[in-house]
Amino acid sequence: MLPLRFYDRFIIGLAVAGALSLALITIAIIVDVVLRNTGFRPFQWTSAVVEYVMLFSTMAAAPWLVRTNGHVAISSFMEMLPRPLRQLAGRVVVIAAIVTLGLLCWRSAAVGMQMVASRAVDMRSINIPSWVLYAMLSGGFGLMALEFLRLLLRGEIYTGTGGGH
């Protein structure tokens, strides 16, 4: 189905954007230090953009991590449970995750809208509209909730076995 294929590519594309943004801040920091130490004026936006990328890369990769079981979870106790009970507990956990993330997606969007209405500004090394951070959170939480919903609809449970920690 085309919309689903588009959605799959979107989740992976976001993760790629997250990785690219980390590479870009590495370069930005180096350029900043070199400029500062060679008598040039460093860019004013560097530290603000670097700080925003930290949240962007996290929220952009978070839905992909749900898909790849990359968020760390304690599986040892679940493994001790009999299979039917483990499945049941796993389903309950997935539903609880959807509710939690859905609620946070909604509240982040609501607070973000208030920020738009009040034209609030986040003052860092440059001024950035405050809604930007809330939009990242709302989008990230919402897509994570969708990924858990995808697990639920497929009858799968979250295992956390793909964690790279």
Partner 1 sequence: MAWYEAALLMVGGLLFLMFFGMPVAIAFLAINIVGVYIFMGGMIGIDQLVANATTAVTSFALVPVPLFLIMGELLFHTGLAIRVFDALDKCFGGIKGRLSYLTVGGGTIFATLSGSSMANTAMLGTTLMPDMIKRGYKPHMIMGPILATGGLAMIIPPSSLAVLLGSLARIDVGALLIAGLIPGLILALMFAATIRLQIAADPEAAPGYAAERASFSEIVRALVVDVLPMGIVVFAVVGLILLGWATPTESAAFGAFSVVALAAFYGKLSWDAVVRSMKGTLTVSAMMLMIIVGSTTFSQILAFSGASSGLIAFATGFELNAYLILLAMFLVLIILGMFMDQLSIMMLTLPIFMPLVGLYNFDPIWFGVIMLLALELSLVTPPFGLLLFVMVGVSPQGTRIGHVARAAIPYIACTLLLVLILTLFPQLALWLPGMIRS
User: How does strand 127-129 pair with strand 121-123?
Assistant: antiparallel
Using CB under 8 A as the binding rule, whether residue 146 contacts partner 1 is answered as no
Q: Is residue 22 within the footprint of partner 1 (CB under 8 A)?
A: yes
71 by Cβ neighbours in 10 Å (0-12 / 13-18 / 19+) ranks as: middle
| Residues 120, 74: Cα–Cα separation, whole Å | 40
Structure tokens at 102: 């859905």
Residue type, 11: I
* Residue among 30, 44, 116, 121 that touches partner 1 (CB under 8 A): 30
The residue ranges that bind partner 1 (CB under 8 A) are 15, 18-20, 22-23, 25-26, 29-30, 32-33, 37, 47, 50-52, 54-55, 57-62, 65-66, 68, 70-78, 89-90, 92-93, 96-97, 100-101, 103-104, 107-108, 110-111, 133-134, 137, 144, 157-160, 162-165
